[in-house]
Amino acid sequence: MALSLLSCLSLCALVPGCRTVNHRIEGGNCELNEADDRWDGILPPVSDQSFGYYRRVIPTSALETDAAHANKTCHVDHVLLDNTCLEIVATGNHNHSSALETCHRRYGRLAILDTPELLTVLGLLGPYGSAGKYYIDIVRKNDGILVWGATQVPVDLTTPAWLSGQPDDYQYGAGPEDCGSIEANGAQFFFMDTPCNLADRGYICQYGQYATRGL
């Protein structure tokens, strides 16, 4: 279909399942993609290389859909760690499901903090408020194992990111602790398992490095 780049990206935002677009300026050809082979690590990428390849980002202005801004690494309000972008949202009354959906709607995912560099985000949360609580992408499978939801890789339970004694699957009023969050303990922040239905916390989203045009 013949569309401008901005119209092509806007259409992608309206179509369920669209994650990226290919756009050819000459002729205005627009292709909507369900897969994002560069984010998912598929090699070699299967996108038609004669097209400009554009990742869905969090558009806050028309400038962010302009190919001239392709060299940015993260959105101005995000934190760049280990070649990925983290959005820290300290306020809000979210349960795990709504946090997950919000990240997906913004073309990202709940954060998977599975490297030492990504875990340094725990030391950056103080300025956001010591009372902050943040859902991340930890979920408990039916067999009781805690995994990173998007990848199904088991969470390292030996990392010092966990508060002492956690995870404990403590069954209190809100139900089993089948999700994971980051919470403050004094001036420091740690992983804890928590019920999925507690609607009293923010979240951390994770995105591919900010770029409107890919390779």
Give the domain ranges of the chain: 5-56, 79-208
> Which tokens go with 18?
């669209």
pLDDT of residue 61: 45
pLDDT of residue 47: 46
Structural class in CATH, domain 79-208: alpha beta
8-state DSSP, 202: E
pLDDT of residue 63: 44
pLDDT of residue 153: 94
Q: Distance between CA 134 and CA 200 in Å, rounded?
A: 9
pLDDT of residue 182: 97
Please report which helix (H) or strand (E) contains residue 11, including its range: helix 5-14
How wide is the angle at C-alpha 70 spanned by C-alphas 57 and 41, nearest 5°?
Answer: 65
- Contact by Cβ (8 Å): 146, 193: yes
pLDDT of residue 16: 67
Listed in sequence order, the residues at least 6 apart from 106 whose beta carbon sits closer than 8 Å to its beta carbon are 58, 87, 205, 207
How many Cα atoms sit within 13 Å of 57 on the Cβ side? 32
pLDDT of residue 92: 77
Listed in sequence order, the residues at least 6 apart from 27 whose beta carbon sits closer than 8 Å to its beta carbon are 2
Q: pTM of the full predicted structure? A: 0.68
Among 100, 80, 115, CA closest to 149: 100
Mean pLDDT per 10-residue interval, the chain, length 215 residues: 72 71 76 61 46 50 46 73 89 91 82 96 87 92 93 94 92 76 93 93 82 42
pLDDT of residue 201: 92
Q: 167 preceded by cis ω (within 30°)?
A: yes
Q: 44 preceded by cis ω (within 30°)?
A: yes
> In 8-23, which positions are buried (b, 16+ CB within 10 angstroms) versus exposed (e)?
bbeebeeeeebbbbbb
